């Protein structure tokens, strides 16, 4: 496996060819790094599952270069979903739609729906466009971490997660730190109103404004411990505890307005919500690298992106 830091046009071409040849390419998006494979190649997609150690009945998101490819992958698309796609793509939003024949069981986990996203990152978009020029239809890409672990927001983090599980021809494209830092908002568009399955940077308020519809949510909004209920934990090795009462030797994450008590290892002190999202996963990773046993964390308050951050904190603390 090769990590490429200077991602030129030539590198994009090499990576697109690698995908066509059923190899894996990890690439940056604005949310987190994805582990990509040709979404129409069962063997290639199977390698994603083995590299991640992920159960095979989990569906993967198909990434496409533009809204124009939407009806290759989906059918019976409701008008509100078209409105969302027109407004927020490229961007941190995944739409779940009724699948076309192109979306096979190995992509959808046997479900009748497919997750689609146009990422907003120059490297991801260049790779998708080049891959489509070579005859590809889309790149299947879950977050580039081992199953249940924290999503990587840098190429170095991808390498740490997956170096033992990738093969010699696989590539990691380095696009620096991801700007959003938490995974895309997932919106189920199969009913006649949107259902938010995972909160993200495209917020419930934004969705309701664009669709003029009342959305519903299917994620845990209460910051109470829900161990065992959540299938994916987004967890560091360190124990994550939602609590401001931090002891010396423990890691601590809170907004910068909360000071660091003596002897406490400050892992992040974001000054705003955007920075909180961007730095959360690297703070978790940092704790593991430093061998910290427990992290106390004060979740941000408010709606919008703060809701997505609380969702990830809750998942990280639920095990």
Tell me how crowded residue 216 is: count the other CB atoms within 10 A of its CB: 12
Interaction of residue 29 with Mg ion, rule CB under 5 A? no
116, interface contact from Mg ion, ligand TXA, none, CB < 5-8 Å by kind: none
Q: Which stretch binds ligand TXA (CB under 6 A): 12-20, 78-86, 179-187, 279-287?
A: 179-187
Do the beta carbons of residue 164 and residue 146 sit within 8 Å?
Answer: no
Sheet holding 34-38, edge to edge: 2-4, 171-173, 25-27, 34-38, 139-140, 61-63, 113-117, 93-98, 185-188, 195-198, 216-217
Q: Which stretch binds ligand TXA (CB under 6 A): 14-22, 24-32, 83-91, 212-220?
A: 24-32
How far, in Å, CA of 119 to CA of 94, rounded? 9
Interaction of residue 183 with ligand TXA, rule CB under 6 A? yes
Residue 124: CB minimum distance to ligand TXA, A: 8
Interaction of residue 235 with ligand TXA, rule CB under 6 A? no
Residue 265: CB minimum distance to ligand TXA, A: 28
Is 212 exposed, middle or buried, given 0-12, 13-18 or 19+ CB atoms closer than 10 A?
exposed
How far, in Å, CA of 166 to CA of 50, rounded? 9
Residue 242: CB minimum distance to ligand TXA, A: 22
Residue 142: CB minimum distance to Mg ion, A: 5
132-161 residues near Mg ion, rule: CB under 5 A? 143
Bridge partners of 253, per DSSP, are 268, 297
Sign of CA dihedral 231, 106, 207, 218: negative
How far, in Å, CA of 131 to CA of 119, rounded? 14
Binding mask 56-95 for ligand TXA (x = CB under 6 A): --xxxx--------------------------------x-
Q: How many residues belong to the site for ligand TXA (CB under 6 A)?
A: 24
Residue 96: CB minimum distance to Mg ion, A: 15
Q: Which residues contact 290 (CB under 8 A, 6 or more apart)?
A: 251, 265
Q: Smaller CB distance to Mg ion: residue 113 or 143?
A: 143
Q: Which residues bind Mg ion (CB under 5 A)?
A: 143
Q: Which residues bind ligand TXA (CB under 6 A)?
A: 29, 31-32, 34, 58-61, 94, 96, 108, 111, 113-115, 117, 119, 141-143, 183-184, 186, 232
């Amino acid at each position: 496996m090769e990590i490429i830091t200077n991602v030129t046009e030539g590198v994009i071409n090499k990576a697109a060819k690698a995908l066509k040849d059923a190899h894996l390419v990890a690439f940056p998006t604005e949310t987190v790094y994805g582990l990509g494979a040709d979404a129409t190649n069962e063997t290639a997609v199977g390698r994603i599952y083995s590299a991640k150690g992920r159960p095979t009945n989990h569906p993967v998101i198909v990434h496409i270069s533009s809204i124009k490819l939407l009806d290759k992958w989906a059918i019976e698309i409701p008008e509100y979903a078209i409105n969302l796609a027109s407004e927020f793509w490229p961007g941190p939003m995944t739409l779940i739609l009724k699948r076309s024949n192109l979306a096979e069981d190995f992509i959808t986990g046997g479900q009748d729906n497919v997750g689609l996203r146009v990422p907003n990152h120059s490297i991801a978009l260049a790779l998708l466009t080049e891959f489509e020029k070579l005859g590809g239809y889309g790149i299947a890409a879950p977050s580039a971490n081992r199953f249940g672990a924290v999503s990587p927001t840098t190429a170095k983090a991808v390498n740490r997660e997956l170096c033992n599980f990738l093969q010699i021809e696989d590539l990691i494209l380095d696009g620096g730190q991801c700007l959003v830092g938490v995974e895309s908002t997932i919106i189920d568009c199969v009913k006649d109103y949107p259902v938010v399955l995972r909160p993200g940077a495209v917020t419930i308020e934004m969705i309701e404004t664009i669709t003029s519809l009342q959305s519903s949510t299917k994620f845990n909004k209460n910051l109470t411990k829900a161990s065992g209920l959540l299938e994916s934990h987004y967890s560091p090795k360190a124990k994550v505890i939602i609590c401001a009462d931090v002891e010396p030797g423990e890691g601590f994450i809170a907004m910068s307005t909360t000071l660091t008590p003596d002897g406490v290892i400050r892992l992040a002190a974001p000054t705003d919500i955007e920075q909180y999202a961007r730095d959360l996963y690297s703070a978790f990773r940092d704790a593991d690298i430093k061998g910290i046993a427990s992290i106390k964390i004060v979740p941000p308050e408010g709606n919008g992106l703060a809701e997505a951050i609380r969702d990830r904190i809750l998942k990280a603390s639920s095990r």
